[in-house]
Structures are given as structure tokens and as C-alpha cells.
């Protein structure tokens, strides 16, 4: 099964490698997160730099309203993955059939987050079982039905 955790969950050892494979999926490696606490870091599963910058700018303008910024900037319609990112996600989806995989990002559990988009993509594209996703992500689900999240060249 593919599950999710925050960087804080890993730093505080609420989720550890004993629970499953711990995979960080952020654009920039989290400061102060000890590498010994994780198994892998896949930047190819992070949002593109431009999207992250746009999100952070919108979040700042909205007085740190994370979920409001996510919705206001139409994040779901803009998130993409490279072919390499999709291949890594497929590998993780396959491995998740044998042991738990934890996707890790800065976002708190319950917030809108690209790691939930990754979970939905793993389920819809590669048949992975996933843990609870906190938001409906209707735009992403429609995009996945229509061909996916692949970046345009």
C-alpha cells in the first residue's frame, strides 16, 4: 500500500523505515532531515520548479493559506510528471504490493498536497492500493482518465 507522511512525521520518528520504505518527494531536500531516516529521495516526483514557485508566491499573497493557494492557482490542472517520474512512480506502485511505501513531503497530513496526487496516479495508472486521501482531486482524476500527467516536451 502507498501511504503518506510529512517531513515532520519522519523527523519526529512517528514514521520510520520499520514501517515501510520512506521516500521523500520534494523539489529540494528538506533541511534538517537526517538522510539515515529515509530510504530514497526522488526529485522526479516533486512538482516542477515553476509550479512550486507559483504555489509559494500564491500562498504568501494569501497569508500562508496553503489549501486556499492550492485551489486558487488551480494546482491540479498544472501538476505534471516527466516520463522518468512516471517510471519511478510505477516502480513504487509495484513495490507497494509487497511492502508499504511512504511518500513524504513538507505538507501536513490533511492539507492539499502533490503526494496525494501521486497516490491517486499510482492507483489509477498502476493499480496500487493507497491509504486515505484527504481531498477529492476531481481535476486530477479527470486528467488521469484522459491520459495522465505527462509533461509536454
pLDDT digits (tens, 9 = 90+) for 44-103: 999 999 999 999 999 999 999 999 999 999 999 999 999 999 999 999 999 999 999 999
128 contacts 25 by C-beta, under 8 angstroms = no
Q: Cα(43)–Cα(145) distance, rounded to whole angstroms?
A: 25
At 151, the pLDDT band (50, 70, 90 cuts) reads confident
Cα 98 from Cα 118, distance rounded (Å): 18
**Rounded mean pLDDT of 27-40?**
96
d(CA 147, CA 26): 24
Residue of 16, 13, 22 lying closest to 96 (CA atoms): 22
CA 20 to chain CA mean position, Å: 16
What CATH fold (topology level) applies to the domain 2-145? 3.90.190
CA distance 66 to 45: 20
C-alpha span between 127 and 136 (Å, rounded): 18
Using an 8 Å Cβ cutoff, are 45 and 89 in contact? yes
Examine the pLDDT at 153 and tell me if it is beyond 70: no
Q: What is the pTM of this model?
A: 0.96
Q: What is the mean pLDDT of the chain?
A: 96
pLDDT of residue 146: 84
Q: Which of 1, 24, 4, 14 is nearest to 134 (CA)?
A: 4
Q: What is the pLDDT of residue 136?
A: 95
Angle at 18 between CA 13 and CA 23, to 5 degrees: 75
Confidence of residue 150 (pLDDT cuts 50, 70, 90): confident
The CA-based dihedral angle spanning residues 129, 148, 68, 101, taken in that order and rounded to the nearest 10 degrees: 30
Amino acid at each position: 500500500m502507498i501511504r503518506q507522511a510529512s517531513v515532520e512525521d519522519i523527523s519526529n520518528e512517528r514514521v520510520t523505515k520499520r514501517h515501510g520504505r520512506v521516500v521523500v518527494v520534494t523539489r529540494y531536500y528538506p533541511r534538517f532531515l537526517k538522510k539515515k531516516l529515509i530510504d530514497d529521495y526522488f526529485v522526479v516526483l516533486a512538482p516542477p520548479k515553476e509550479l512550486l514557485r507559483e504555489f509559494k508566491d500564491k500562498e504568501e499573497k494569501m497569508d500562508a493559506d496553503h489549501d486556499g493557494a492550492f485551489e486558487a492557482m488551480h494546482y491540479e490542472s498544472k501538476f505534471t510528471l516527466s516520463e522518468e517520474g512516471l517510471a519511478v512512480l510505477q516502480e513504487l506502485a509495484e513495490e507497494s504490493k509487497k511492502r508499504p511505501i511512504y511518500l513524504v513531503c513538507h505538507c501536513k497530513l490533511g492539507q492539499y498536497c502533490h503526494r496525494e496526487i501521486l497516490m491517486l496516479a499510482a492507483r489509477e495508472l498502476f493499480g496500487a492500493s493507497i491509504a486515505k486521501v484527504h481531498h477529492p482531486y476531481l481535476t486530477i482524476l479527470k486528467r488521469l482518465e484522459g491520459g495522465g500527467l505527462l509533461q509536454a516536451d
